[in-house]
């Protein structure tokens, strides 16, 4: 049978990715360079992601706030490494109005005294508020999160993965001690891991970034790394321990219990709409998107199959009752999300429309189902297997079925990950692992020492250090590139 | 007794407003001109507003999406009135990176071929997507909403009321017929009215804007106008019937049932963080903010009163059980929002902290309440009246009590509005109505004809035409300014 998406993943993974996004109506490129439009289906997934993460943040004591989009250059300049890290990709606002010439051409006017940049991230502008809010140890910890758009000018944009503008959340916290800030950094990393695994069905490897992959200005950066179906790595979320660097830059000081003024310790952490890209490349197949049930805007789509106008009303009424009864059921505390596709369109068109969009369960209700009081349905991850069961049974099992689909997706992704990690102890094998013609890429665990000369050596192979995993092998092996003794192993991979 | 906010509303309403915002920790000015920081308490109110409006939008068939922050000049220029309306307040991005000079000074670099503006509103960029999405009558109606930040450069910024950057929702819809688009425009106006009245306890007057107060590019603009405690009007939400103007500009065309290509009809509508300003100025008193229970981030604050360490544990345990039991109760489908203030601070400090923040019910639990199994509490709108009731009774009545507070707030605001509208039929009385030394301003209903010369005449009195109310008096009176016969009455007021 012909697949809905061409090319297939095997033929051209990158083009397949674009086609899935376009045909599932997740998002599209806009007329604005590097900026995407997130269409309702894509935004619906983002809303599910937001809802769950927001709950996890609030359950751990964080509250939301909102800070300015525009940052004065003077703020950005306060942390030297930070400004160097972002200067090359800042959108700069220089004027505050437009003038129309006599020929009707618009030109910028009203030049600003100090240019403003659109936030690429908000440490500096949030730091300015924190320095006002934090006076005493009683004001700590200060646990803030912001849902916002940010902008980093991208030379080679790629929808959901690297767009100039993207949506994200950025957590920013201040603490009275180093230990507490470090614990917060790791707690948020754990929350990201749990969310990726439990909700997106994406297994991840937690670890610390090496020095040259750190967030500009951070003392240490932690990451969750996921494996896409082409064997490349995707950084899916990061959590930064900022030490006292940003507190010093923004003057965040507090009077401690002994009455002495101290610098605070800060963290920041974020995930973005990139998670949708990770979801597509982890679960999609040659028929389009496959959405994990827990984040699907519609979990069950009901398609009425009306071949004669005579039965139309009865079939539609049957669908409505079915929808109502399923919607009452819950999964992880949320009512099931069910939709009836009533559009004026052939049922075959509808079927493929929802397959490409990755709806977890597709129900078809025709005259036979009506007469026999049954439901015919397929799971998105096995579209050719249509099952028919009694309606009451289907309703009763709906939540469980969705959970089973969710678990199955995670297990397949976990197997793919564990099947495709190699441990390598020689340079020859390292090179071989990244040069297998016609086969998917792999993740490689190899010894590591934090020496910038390694970056040069591996970048020639198109490889990056993804992280130093928190879970480490016990043995010690010399560095493959420098021969120096090492104390840890790193995860190496080609990456997005 | 001394009040918590100085100056009082009577002494200086404008300064009182700033003080309430500052002392309730709702928001603050940032180091970025015209841009505010929305602090957790202010953002918490915005989250309640968002949740309820989002539900109302979805219940009426709208879905959320996200469109680019940056708009090319060429997009903006497509609708002539529109660009004229916004050209004077656009933030313009002209460069895409920063360069550091040898002295370390940062300067804009990488000049863009075409400048980009930060969206002041998104009709033009959303129109470009709509023209791709709408092909056939089957694609209509297209009902989209966006939650976003927008930027309009403000020369005289005022926190929540007129800030350069603000948060809002903007609905954008396309329809197959004029009638349907007009019905949508009015439906959304009704939704705004219901929300203002039922949730913010703010009565509003619905009406149409006169020609010179219309949204740039719209055929007609509808508004809800609210009265602040100083008698000034605040435009609290608008809904625009755009006719085919933007469809023409963006080329939004569809093939109708007869196979003929037609231009679509569009609408747009929005409310913003300005609603928080409206709430402050409608309900606040000389002790600070008074938040309507339905949008309060915390509806009931529990303050443990511990005078001896001996009872501390028992009192805290009692508070926890109380919180747990109240949290199970529901108001309008939502669990009650209850918090215990456990901070290391005197109970008097805590009391005033929560009064200034406008928490609807303040509960105090000390040894007496513990021993007698009672709850002592005050309503925010009557802080000196402390009541003591049995705990089970308090829990049982909590939802009803909050609803009573909500209703009371609305009734007071409704009375103030109806007590302060004057009907005026002569120019002398018109002028008198707006020139009462030492008294609050009033709203004036007077005859109206849509003639721009009126604007000049009334602006000298500091007055604007707020709207032509949908509900009209039956009599017809000549225009006070031009003597022309009129067919309707308008609402005139001083305004924010």
The secondary structure of chain B, three-state, reads CCCCCCCCCCCCHHHHHHHHHHHCCCEEECCCCCCEEECHHHHHHHHHHHHHHHHHHHHCCCEECECCCEEEHHHHCCCHHHHHHHHHHCCEEEEEEEEECCCCCEEEEEEEEEEEEECCCCHHHHHHHHHHHCCEHHHCCEEEEEEEEEECCCCCCECCCECCEEEEEEEEEEECCHHHHHHHHHHHHHHHHHHHHHCCCCCEEEEECCHHHCCCCCCEEEEEEEECCCCCEEEEEEEEECCCHHHHHHCCEEECCCCCEEECEEEEEEEECHHHHHHHHHHCECCECCCCHHHCCCCEEEEECCCCHHHHHHHHHHHHHHHHHHHCCEECCEECCEEECCCCCCHHHHHHHHHHHCCCEEEEECHHHHHHCEEEEEECCEEEEEEEEEHHHHHHHHHHHHHHHHHHHHHHHHHHHHHCEEECCCHHHHHHHCCCCCCCCCEEEEEECCCCHHHHHHHCCCCEEEEEECCCCCCCCCCCCCCCCCCEEEEEECEC
The 10s digit of each residue's pLDDT in A95-123 is 999 998 888 788 999 999 999 999 999 99
Residues A166 and A257 in one domain: yes
- Using a CB–CB cutoff of 8 Å, tell me whether B167 touches chain A: yes
In angstroms, the separation between the Cα of residue A428 and the nearest Cα of chain B is 41
Q: Are residues A224 and A317 in the same domain?
A: no
Residue A217 within any structural domain of the chain: yes
Task: List helix spans (H) across A13-166.
Answer: 13-23, 40-59, 73-76, 80-86, 123-133
Per-residue confidence (pLDDT) for residue B100, from 0 to 100: 85
In a domain, B289, yes or no: no
Q: Does a structural domain hold residue B201?
A: yes
ipTM confidence:
0.97
CATH of the domain at A453: 3.30.110.30
Once rounded to an integer, what is the mean pLDDT over residues A419-441? 91
Residue B1: the pLDDT is 60
Q: Total domain count for chain B? A: 3
Strand B382-390 versus strand B374-379 pairing type: antiparallel
First to last CA, chain B: 32
- Contact between B37 and A129 using a beta-carbon 8 Å cutoff: yes
Note the pLDDT tens digit of each residue in A32-52: 889 999 999 999 999 999 999
Let me know if residue A257 belongs to a domain: yes
Cβ-based neighbour number of residue B436 at 10 Å: 11
Could you tell me which of B174, B269, B157 has the C-alpha nearest to residue B221?
Answer: B269
**Which residues from chain B sit within 8 angstroms of residue A40, using beta carbons?**
63-65, 144
**Are residues B319 and B389 both part of a single domain?**
yes
Which one of B406, B441, B468 terminates a domain? B406
* Whole-number Å distance between alpha carbons of A90 and A82: 12
C-alpha B73/C-alpha A106 separation (Å) is 7
pLDDT score for A278:
98
Asked if the C-beta of A485 comes within 8 angstroms of chain B's C-beta atoms, the answer is: no
Q: What's the rounded Cα separation, in Å, for the pair B63 and B68?
A: 17
Q: Rounded distance, CA B108 to CA A209, Å?
A: 31
Cα separation, B249 vs B84, in Å, equals 15
Q: Which secondary-structure segment (H or E) carries A151?
A: strand A142-151
* A237 and A310 co-located in one domain: no
Same domain assignment for residues A122 and A221: yes
Nearest of A490, A124, A198 to residue B32 by alpha carbon:
A124
Distance (Å, whole) CA A80 – CA B133: 45
- A94 interaction partners in chain B (CB closer than 8 Å): 92-95, 108
Which residue of A32, A129, A148 is in closest CB contact with B72? A32
Confirm if A482 and A450 have CB atoms less than 8 A apart: no
User: In the numeric block, which tokens belong to residue B299?
Assistant: 């509806």
- Give the pLDDT score at A374: 97
Same domain, B164 and B195: yes
Q: Flag whether residue A93 sits within 8 Å of chain B, measured between CB atoms.
A: yes
Is residue A454 located within the same domain as residue A381?
A: no
H-helix or E-strand containing A459? Answer: helix A453-459
* Residue A76 or B438, more confident: A76
Q: Are residues B394 and B425 both part of a single domain?
A: no
By CA distance, what is A137's nearest residue in B? Answer: B344
Give the tens place of pLDDT for each residue, A457-492: 999 999 999 999 999 998 889 999 999 999 999 999
Q: How far is A259 from chain B (nearest CA, A)?
A: 15
Chain A environment of B116 (Cβ under 8 Å): 32, 91
> pLDDT tens-digit profile of A151-168?
999 989 999 999 999 999
Q: Which of B44, B70, B149 sits opposite A63 (nearest CB)?
A: B44
SS3 A265: strand
B293 within some domain: no
In whole angstroms, what is the distance from residue B402 CA to residue B99 CA?
57
Size of interface A-B (CB pairs under 8 A): 202
Q: Which of A283, A309, A343 is the last residue of a domain?
A: A283
A132 touches chain B (CB under 8 A): yes
Q: Is residue B413 part of a domain?
A: no
CA A336/CA B475 separation, integer angstroms = 55
B44 and chain A in contact, CB less than 8 A: yes
Q: How far off is chain A from B237, nearest CA to CA, in Å?
A: 21
Closest by Cβ to B95, choosing from A38, A43, A94:
A94
Residue B343 domain-assigned (yes or no): yes
Nearest Cα to Cα of residue B249 among B383, B8, B71, B117:
B71
**Tens-level pLDDT at each residue, chain B (496 residues):** 679 999 999 999 999 999 999 999 999 999 888 999 999 999 999 999 999 999 999 999 999 999 999 999 989 888 888 888 899 999 999 999 999 888 878 899 999 999 999 999 999 999 999 999 999 999 999 999 999 999 999 989 999 999 999 999 999 999 999 999 999 999 999 999 999 999 999 999 999 999 999 999 999 999 999 999 999 999 999 999 999 999 999 999 999 999 999 999 999 999 999 999 999 999 999 999 999 999 999 999 999 999 988 999 999 999 999 999 999 999 999 999 999 999 988 999 999 999 999 999 999 999 999 999 999 999 999 999 999 999 999 999 999 999 999 999 999 999 999 999 999 999 999 999 998 877 888 999 999 999 999 999 999 999 999 999 999 998 889 999 999 999 999 999 999 9
A39 touches chain B (CB under 8 A): yes
- B8 occurs within a structural domain: no
**With an 8 Å Cβ cutoff, is B79 touching chain A?**
no
Put simply, the answer to whether A47 touches B69 (Cβ < 8 Å) is no
Q: Are residues B425 and B378 in the same domain?
A: no
User: Using a CB cutoff of 8 Å and minimum separation of 24, what contacts does A331-335 make?
Assistant: A331/A293, A331/A294, A331/A299, A331/A399, A331/A402, A331/A403, A332/A294
Q: For CA atoms A408, A207, A169, A117, give the dihedral sign.
A: negative
Q: Is B125 at the interface with chain A, CB within 8 A?
A: yes
Cα gap B217→B83, rounded to integer Å: 9
> Which chain A positions have a beta carbon within 8 Å of B97's beta carbon?
87-90, 92, 153
Which CATH number do you get for residue A52? 3.30.930.10
**CATH code assigned at B383:** 3.40.50.800
Residues of B in contact with A106 (CB under 8 A): 73, 76-77, 83, 87
What is the spatial distance between Cα B460 and Cα B448, in angstroms, rounded to a whole number? 17
Q: Which two tokens stand for residue A302?
A: 């009901």
Q: Which of residues 260-299 of B touch A (CB under 8 A)?
A: none
Alpha carbons A39 and B161: distance in angstroms, whole number: 31
Query: Range of A357's domain?
Result: 300-406
Nearest CA among B30, B73, B109, B247 for reference residue A126: B30
B238 shares contact with chain A (CB less than 8 Å)? no
Task: Out of A31, A66, A108, name the one closest to residue B72 (CB).
Answer: A31
Q: How far is A64 from chain B (nearest CA, A)?
A: 6
Chain B residues lying within 8 Å of A149, measured CB to CB: 69, 148-149
- Tell if the CB–CB gap between A69 and B153 is shorter than 8 Å: no
**Residue A122 near residue A146, CB atoms below 8 Å:** yes
**Cβ proximity of A54 and A60 under 8 Å:** no
Q: Are B175 and B144 in contact (CB under 8 A)?
A: no
Nearest-CA distance A38 → chain B (Å): 5
Burial class (CB in 10 A: 0-12, 13-18, 19+), B39: buried
d(CA B292, CA A355): 46
Q: Looking at beta carbons, which residues of chain A come within 8 Å of B40?
A: 63-65, 144
Comparing alpha-carbon positions, the chain A residue that sits nearest to B25 is: A133
Is there a single domain that holds both residue B402 and residue B425? no
pLDDT in tens, A380-409: 999 999 999 999 999 999 999 999 999 999
Q: Is B75 part of the contact surface with chain A (CB cutoff 8 Å)? A: yes
Q: Do A99 and B87 touch (CB under 8 A)?
A: yes
> Is A73 in the same domain as A101?
yes
A460 and A343 fall within a common domain: no
- Confidence band, pLDDT 50/70/90 cuts, at residue A1: low
Give just the sign of the alpha carbon dihedral A169, A46, A68, B75: positive
A442, pLDDT greater than 70 = yes
Q: Which of residues 404-423 of A touch B (CB under 8 A)?
A: none
Burial, A384: exposed, middle or buried (Cβ in 10 Å; 0-12, 13-18, 19+)? exposed
């Amino acid at each position: 049978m012909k697949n809905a998406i061409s090319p297939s993943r095997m033929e051209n993974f990158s083009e397949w990715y674009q086609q899935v996004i376009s045909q599932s109506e997740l998002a599209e490129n806009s007329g604005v360079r590097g900026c995407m439009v997130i269409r309702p289906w894509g935004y619906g997934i983002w809303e599910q992601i937001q809802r769950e993460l927001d709950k996890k943040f609030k359950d751990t004591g964080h509250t939301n706030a909102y800070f300015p989009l525009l940052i004065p250059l003077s703020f950005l300049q306060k942390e030297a490494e930070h400004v160097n890290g972002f200067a090359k990709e800042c959108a700069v606002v220089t004027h505050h109005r437009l003038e129309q010439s006599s020929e009707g051409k618009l030109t910028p006017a009203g030049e600003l005294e100090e240019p403003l940049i659109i936030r690429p991230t908000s440490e500096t502008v949030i730091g300015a508020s924190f320095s006002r809010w934090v006076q005493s140890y009683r004001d700590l910890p200060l646990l803030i999160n912001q849902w916002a758009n940010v902008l980093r000018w991208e030379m080679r944009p790629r929808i959901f993965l690297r767009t100039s503008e993207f949506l994200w959340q950025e957590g920013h916290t201040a603490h009275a001690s180093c230990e507490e800030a470090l614990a917060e950094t790791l707690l948020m990393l754990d929350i990201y891991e749990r969310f990726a695994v439990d909700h997106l069905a994406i297994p991840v490897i937690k670890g610390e970034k090496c020095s040259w992959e750190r967030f500009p200005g951070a003392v240490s950066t932690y990451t969750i790394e996921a494996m896409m179906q082409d064997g490349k790595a995707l950084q899916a979320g990061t959590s930064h321990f900022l030490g006292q660097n940003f507190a010093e830059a923004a003057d965040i000081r507090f009077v401690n219990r002994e009455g002495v003024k101290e610098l605070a310790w800060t963290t920041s952490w974020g995930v973005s709409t990139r998670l949708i890209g990770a979801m597509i490349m982890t679960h999609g197949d040659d028929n389009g998107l496959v959405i994990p049930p827990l984040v699907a805007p519609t979990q069950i789509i009901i398609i009425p199959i009306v071949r004669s106008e005579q039965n139309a009303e009865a079939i539609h009424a049957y669908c409505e009752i079915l929808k109502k009864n399923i919607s009452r059921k819950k999964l992880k505390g949320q009512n099931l999300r069910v939709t009836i596709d009533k559009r004026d369109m052939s049922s075959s068109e509808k079927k493929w429309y929802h397959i490409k969009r990755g709806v977890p369960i597709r129900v078809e209700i025709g005259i036979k189902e009506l007469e026999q009081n049954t439901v015919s349905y397929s799971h998105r991850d096995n579209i050719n297997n249509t099952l028919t069961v009694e309606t009451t049974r289907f309703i009763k099992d709906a939540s469980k079925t969705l959970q089973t689909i969710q678990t199955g997706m995670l297990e397949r992704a976990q197997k793919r990950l564990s099947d495709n990690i190699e441990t390598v102890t020689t340079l020859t094998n390292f090179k071989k692992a990244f040069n297998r013609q016609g086969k998917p890429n792999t993740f490689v665990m190899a010894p590591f020492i934090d020496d910038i000369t390694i970056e040069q050596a591996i970048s020639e192979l198109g490889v990056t250090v993804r992280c130093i995993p928190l879970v480490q092998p016990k043995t010690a092996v010399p560095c493959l590139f420098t021969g120096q003794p090492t104390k840890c192993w790193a995860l190496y991979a080609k990456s997005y």
